[in-house]
Amino acid sequence: MSMYRLVYYSRNHIASDPALYENAVNDILAKSRVNNARDDITGALLFNAGCFAQVLEGPLDKVEAAFERIQQDDRHGDVSLLGIDPVDQRSFPNWAMGFVGISDADAVRFAGIGSDSGFDPSRLDGEQIHMLLRDLTMEEETAFC
Ligand code: FAD
């Protein structure tokens, strides 16, 4: 079955209260992991206070259906699709939904992005976001091995 990779970014609408924020993010992750395991979707979600960026990979119909649901979610907005392309293999085979917070220092280290105005995914293309998430999740995997 052919496989697709979808990349988007969005503006984070979750309240900036740290406790609420943590609950909301945990909620999103728990739901994502159940739904994505069911739908043979893998990927990763990156966030900071201002934005989300996410990669979803799997069968086209399942990836499109997940993205439809995600776009309706009012915990974020201004959802911008950067690409949906066929791929030969998964970049996140071990992650129903990997999750990485990103500091400005990480952004500079991994993507060479200027940090003066903070990490801003709207300055990246789909492939740069994909590579950034792949490097960050790989680093997480190595840390736990
Ligand atoms: P249910 O969980 O039964 O939810 C029913 C409806 O209520 C949905 O419309 C849902 O959007 C809404 N809802 C539920 N809880 C809340 C809440 N606390 N606040 C606001 N609305 C709520 N889902 C995936 O399946 N895979 C993903 O990879 C994924 N990534 C996400 C990334 C981000 C940045 C965000 C914000 C959400 C993501 N979601 C993801 C969640 C997605 O938007 C839907 O909420 C979820 O897929 C709905 O699952 P469900 O159909 O089982 O409905």
pLDDT band per the 50, 70, 90 thresholds, residue 115: very low
Q: What is the predicted pLDDT for the residue at 125?
A: 92
CATH number for 102: 3.30.70.100
Could you tell me the residue range of the domain that residue 62 belongs to? 3-144
Which pLDDT tens digit goes with each residue over 98-113? 887 766 556 555 554 5
Shortest-distance Cα residue to atom 19 of ligand 1: 75
- Look at the chain and report how many structural domains it folds into: 1
- Our answer on whether the CB atom of 97 is closer than 6 Å to any ligand 1 atom is yes
Q: What is the predicted pLDDT for the residue at 114?
A: 42
Q: Which two tokens stand for residue 136?
A: 């960050």
The answer on pLDDT for 68 being more than 70 is yes
Q: What is the pTM of this model?
A: 0.87
Task: Find, among 96, 111, 134, the residue nearest to 7 by Cα.
Answer: 134
Strand spans (E) along the chain? 3-12, 42-47, 51-59, 76-87, 98-101
| Alpha carbon of 109 to ligand 1 centroid (Å) | 31
